[in-house]
Structure 1
Amino acid sequence: MRSAPASLALLWMVLAPPVAAAEPSPARPLRVLFIGNSYTYNHNLPAQLEGLARSATPPLRLQTRTIARAGVRLQQHWDRGEALAALRQGPWDYVVLQEQSTLGLRLIDGRHAVNDPELAFHPYARRFAEEARKVGAQPLFLLTWARRSTPGSQTQLTQAYMSVAQETGAPIVPAGLAWERSRQELPALELYHADGSHPSAAGSYLTAACLYAALTGQSPEGLAATVSGHPSPEGVLDPSRTVTLASLSPEEAAHLQRVAWSTYSELRERGGYLTVGPLPPEPLPSLPEGLPLEPAALVGTWEGELRFYSEEAGQSPATLQLVLKPRGSGLGGTARIRFAQGKREGPQVLEGLTVEPTRLRFTTPVVSQGRGRVEHEAVLTAEGLVGRALYENPRNHDRYVGTWKLQRAPAPP
């Protein structure tokens, strides 16, 4: 057996039954429902799976349906009802569940971090798994991959998926582990889109090969290196056209097929599940000790770096400008934000602005979403104003936490 990737060395085995080899009736194809988002519909992953299955000897007939929209989570799928209605219409043999890439939006200083799976992922994963079984379908969890810039988050994603899969008795499609292995063994083969998050055609091909192994219990080695199907821009299938979804060299295809099979086989030999103990949350930014504050000492224009919005979206680091003016016995003011790509927002009136003995507090709108408020607190240090910004959405559990550092701008001549 090949040695496991570095993060797998941290994992210990939990026995659970792997996916049984599929034996569809000759009278009808194996029917698979996909519930996910852009990780599922980019390069039409379900159609790539169909293409691989057609190239097998003998061919395996698959019929898939996809309910997927950009950025949508299982919680949103549940609330919208379309996925649940499709699931209940059936009949389905398998239901493939794919959660948002970081289990909900969690930004720390502009970097995407894996969210707490118990906030939304696990509760709705349990609901969908239960509903799948009610209609006689086997739920599967598609373990996704870490983003290119945060490879260490694979362990967190693995723990989150494996734990709920074991709890519900649902098999795992170990795509994220296969991605990790492929990146170590053949880093020149690019699995990512240019954004470092979504899959390239090769990345979707590797995921499709993992799905083939998990659904059939058979190796994808020797299957087609080029697969075609209908495109699905933004998750909407276009049946009027047939395009090449992935076209790899024989050597690239052989590598990805072998990685998919060896990753699945090792997981099966370990009992179907891997897990780690609870992982400590990533520490959040904190503020240093501050100097005593007096409103008069804060009057003026302050400007500097804000690390709060998404780095991947080109929004961070941004420039934050605060203009503080006397207002009665206290202060009033405005904020302007200039994003990294040049877009400007503001001026925004600072609401709830208060000056405490060592803390400045106010709120601003959530610029990237157009709703909600960002809570700011800041201290005065020898280097200037040092602040922390916090946004939380209690409905979908989005959370941004970021820092800013401002210095007093020189007075105009």
Structure 2
Amino acid sequence: MRRWMPLSLLLLGCMPAFAMEPASAQRILFVGNSLTYVGNLPATFAAMARANGHDVHSAMIVQGGATLAQRMADGSVRRALVRYRPAVLVLQERGGDLVCLPDEEACRQSRQAVRTLARAGREAGARVLLLGSYPSLPRASAAIVEEERAAATQAGIGYIEISESLRRLSGKATSSAWYDADGMHPGPALTLLDATQLHRALFGTFPAQGFLVAAPIYTPDSRLHAELRDADAPAPRPDTPQGIRYDATMLEQLGSMLDYSDKRPR
């Protein structure tokens, strides 16, 4: 299932951190942390969607170790909703906060932030989704899914489950690069899983066409700050890997495993 191929691509020109796309594109705003930007999920999803017939543009507000409560407090999401006018707002919380790690205050703040940002997104006319995270210990997977789903339900938004699918699929396809070299952040297979689950939630189908992500493929040390930026804007670090290709065979295999997982008894 190891079908992605890193590319050395030259990104032409010095694009600004944020450049307005044509109004015809469906704009997706991702708000999150290193679980969102390692592997560049926003750019991966946009490339996947375009290859499969959907005119999509992605932007993001991300920073390593960031929480949704921080984005609620600094007003960055509200400003981006006005400036970028997304059709979809995708929120991803720091792993563990919604299961009260390190303490009860973390989950209280997280739930409040999900509700507040969801309300802001709806008021701006965006569809809001909570994209799941995953725990460092597999035995905590079911608990984090339960708490994320409850937070999304309380906020009145959709929920995209990741952790239990990752646990099942990574046990089945053990040779795939589910994690980054650090063993914690997303690897190519997990970034593809995230993008595929989001594609299913928004468009109701599995993506079938392979695609090229012609954008920075961020590592944990990205130097990204919590500001609105295009998903394919030049990276702050000049040594950031550039580009990755996912082929149709890998998508087919992932889709088959997800379909199987969806139908098997829990």
TM range (shorter): 0.7 to 0.9
Higher strand fraction (1 or 2):
1
Deviation at 1:63, TM superposition (A): 1.2
1:155 aligned onto 2:142:
yes
* Equivalent AA in structure 1 for residue 27 of structure 2: R
Larger Cα Rg: Structure 1 or Structure 2?
1
Equivalent residue, structure 2, for 1:101: 95
Deviation at 1:188, TM superposition (A): 1.9
Residue 79 of structure 2 aligns to a residue whose secondary structure is helix
Are the counterparts in 2 of residues 38 and 234 from structure 1 also a CA contact under 8 Å? no
Match 2:173 to one of 175, 183, 186:
186
1:197 aligned onto 2:184:
yes
Q: Distance in 2 between matches of 1:216 and 1:251?
A: 20
1:174 aligned onto 2:161:
yes
Equivalent residue, structure 2, for 1:125: 114
* Equivalent AA in structure 1 for residue 138 of structure 2: P
Q: Which structure has the higher relative contact order (CA within 8 Å, separation 6+)?
A: 2
* Equivalent AA in structure 1 for residue 204 of structure 2: G
1:68 aligned onto 2:62:
yes
1:85 aligned onto 2:87:
no
Deviation at 1:134, TM superposition (A): 0.6
Change (3 A) 1:195 1:215: same
Are the counterparts in 1 of residues 27 and 85 from structure 2 also a CA contact under 8 Å? yes
Equivalent residue, structure 2, for 1:35: 31
Residue by residue over 1:327-379, the C-alpha shift from the partner in whole angstroms, topping out at 9 and shown as x without a partner, is: xxxxxxxxxxxxxxxxxxxxxxxxxxxxxxxxxxxxxxxxxxxxxxxxxxxxx
The 5 A counterparts of 1:212-231 are 212-220=199-207, 222-224=208-210, 226-231=212-217
Change (3 A) 1:244 1:218: farther
The 5 A counterparts of 1:2-401 are 28-56=24-52, 59-103=53-97, 116=104, 118-147=107-136, 150-220=137-207, 222-224=208-210, 226-231=212-217, 233-235=222-224, 239-240=233-234, 245-248=243-246, 251-260=249-258
Are the counterparts in 1 of residues 160 and 197 from structure 2 also a CA contact under 8 Å? yes
Deviation at 1:142, TM superposition (A): 0.3
Residue by residue over 1:127-152, the C-alpha shift from the partner in whole angstroms, topping out at 9 and shown as x without a partner, is: 011111111111100011222xx101
Change (3 A) 1:194 1:230: closer
Change (3 A) 1:173 1:235: farther
Give 5+ residue unaligned stretches, structure 2. Answer: 1-21, 226-230
Are the counterparts in 2 of residues 48 and 227 from structure 1 also a CA contact under 8 Å? yes
Instruction: Give TM-score scaled by structure 1 length.
Output: 0.50
Deviation at 1:250, TM superposition (A): 5.3
Residue by residue over 1:192-247, the C-alpha shift from the partner in whole angstroms, topping out at 9 and shown as x without a partner, is: 11322210122111111111111111112x22164332445333666348965444
Deviation at 1:261, TM superposition (A): 5.3
Are the counterparts in 2 of residues 88 and 135 from structure 1 also a CA contact under 8 Å? yes
Q: Distance in 2 between matches of 1:234 and 1:105?
A: 27
Residue 119 of structure 1 aligns to a residue whose secondary structure is helix
Residue 97 of structure 2 aligns to a residue whose secondary structure is coil
- How large is the Cα RMSD of the aligned pairs? 3.0
Are the counterparts in 2 of residues 210 and 260 from structure 1 also a CA contact under 8 Å? no
Change (3 A) 1:181 1:168: same
Change (3 A) 1:115 1:173: farther
Are the counterparts in 2 of residues 37 and 235 from structure 1 also a CA contact under 8 Å? no
Are the counterparts in 2 of residues 143 and 158 from structure 1 also a CA contact under 8 Å? yes
Residue 234 of structure 1 aligns to a residue whose secondary structure is coil
Give 5+ residue unaligned stretches, structure 1. Answer: 1-25, 107-112, 267-273, 275-413
Residue by residue over 1:103-137, the C-alpha shift from the partner in whole angstroms, topping out at 9 and shown as x without a partner, is: 1797xxxxxx5754642111111101111111111
Identity of aligned residues (%): 24
Greater shift in the superposed pair: 64-73 or 245-254: 245-254
Change (3 A) 1:204 1:160: same
Deviation at 1:96, TM superposition (A): 0.4
Q: Distance in 1 between matches of 2:234 and 2:133?
A: 30
Deviation at 1:48, TM superposition (A): 0.3
Q: Distance in 1 between matches of 2:99 and 2:144?
A: 14
Aligned pair count reads: 231
Residue 235 of structure 1 aligns to a residue whose secondary structure is coil
Deviation at 1:64, TM superposition (A): 1.3
